[in-house]
Chain A
Amino acid sequence: MAKHIDMKQPILDKNDAIASELRARFAEAGVFVLDLLASPGSGKTSTILATIDALRDEFNIAVIEGDIASSVDAEKIKAQGTAAVQINTGGACHLESAMIRRAVDVLDLDRLDLIIIENVGNLVCPTDFDLGENAKVMILSVPEGHDKPLKYPGVFQVSDAVILNKADTMPVFDFDEEEFVSSVKQLNPRVPIFKISATKGDGVDAWTAWLADRIRAAQL
């Protein structure tokens, strides 16, 4: 005998439940958590280093590094004197909240103001996974091309801010900034766009001022 059973159950409910638990822990400890999304080679680690450099006098910062393999990025962050936890996803294309929970367990949340999560370099998979973060921010680098919002709309749509990195290379790569801004705004009309050159420091001020406002708000 066939029977119909109503479920109305979110598919990612396990991930979402852990993310909610993490979000509550972060709020309790007054920690702002940033989930950073980008392609491989867009300058995520350089952007993190520049961000730490600008904010380290005011805030205690830790970094959670998600990579398929290696601890190269975590070593770079640690070399700068910042706490870093490496997560190796072992082939998985995105971070899930259970991985973040394991990483957070080795951090002293009460002493921290900001946790930056460097997600696996990928513009598709991480967009649907809640990690308990306060904000998702994506980095696009100029050499990737101004048409990326048309190819990967999801990530532009879920992001709370967009960083356009390697802005100093625009003339070389024939990057149409107007076209880029217009397609981003169509997808996510209110999102701020920060033009930076992470390794040279250009434009980092505006980005870190935006971030600092949000970190302070999380401490209230």
Chain B
Amino acid sequence: MHELGIMTGVMDSARTAAEGAGAQRLLGVTLSVGEMTEAIEDALQFAFEALCEGDPFFEGATLTVNMIAPKSRCLECGCEFAHDRFHMFCPACDSFATQLIAGRELQIDSIEVDLPDDEEQR
């Protein structure tokens, strides 16, 4: 969709969290992205690299994207099942009353930062 806009938000949040922890540099960001969202992994990587370039705080940082496969729960029989983007029927009882429980994530899981060593500070 507009991965650059999304990634700009990610970088803002990552910078705030990293600076809050007293970091000098961001080393990596890990995201969870559901396959049912319209965000594409390649485009996220591209936007990440573009945004890191020329910014000493982000230079050399890596992006890890965990793509989350869709999963639903049947509201009739309680069965939980994995599925593709196109088929949401319950495979156990063929019910169409199902609810998506995974696959729409857009989350920053964690960041890796470089903290100043105690010795260096002395």
Residues on A close to B: CB < 8 A? 1-14, 92-94, 124-125, 127-128, 149-150, 153-154, 157, 183, 185-190
Q: Is the CB of A187 within 8 A of B17?
A: no
Q: Is the CB of A12 within 8 A of B106?
A: yes
When distances are taken between beta carbons in the complex, the residues of chain B under 8 Å from A92 are 2, 5
- Total cross-chain contacts (CB, 8 A): 107
User: Chain A at the B interface: mostly helix, strand, loop or mixed?
Assistant: mixed
B111 within 8 A of A: yes
B1, B96, B108: which contacts A7 (Cβ < 8 A)?
B108
When distances are taken between beta carbons in the complex, the residues of chain A under 8 Å from B51 are none
Residue of B nearest to A9 (CB): B108
Q: Is the CB of B1 within 8 A of A125?
A: yes
How far, in Å, is B120 (CB) from chain A's closest CB? 9
User: Can you identify 6 A-B contacts, CB atoms within 8 angstroms?
Assistant: A4-B111, A9-B108, A10-B106, A11-B107, A128-B1, A189-B88
| Alpha-carbon gap, A93 to B4, bound state (A) | 12
| Alpha-carbon gap, A13 to B106, bound state (A) | 9
When distances are taken between beta carbons in the complex, the residues of chain A under 8 Å from B107 are 8-11
| Alpha-carbon gap, A1 to B110, bound state (A) | 16
Q: Is the CB of B13 within 8 A of A127?
A: no
Interface size for B (C-beta < 8 A) is 39
Residue of A nearest to B27 (CB): A2
Q: A128-B1, A188-B88 are in contact. List 15 more A-B contacts (CB 8 A).
A: A1-B114, A2-B113, A3-B21, A4-B112, A5-B113, A12-B6, A92-B5, A153-B36, A153-B85, A154-B38, A157-B88, A185-B96, A186-B89, A187-B86, A187-B88
How far, in Å, is A190 (CB) from chain B's closest CB? 6
Q: Is the CB of A1 within 8 A of B117?
A: yes
Contact with A along B72-88 (1 / 0, CB 8 A): 00000000000001111
Given contacts A2-B27, A7-B110, contact A14 B17 (CB under 8 A): no
How far, in Å, is A146 (CB) from chain B's closest CB? 14
A2, A5, A154: which contacts B110 (Cβ < 8 A)?
A5
Q: Is the CB of B10 within 8 A of A3?
A: no
When distances are taken between beta carbons in the complex, the residues of chain B under 8 Å from A2 are 27, 112-115
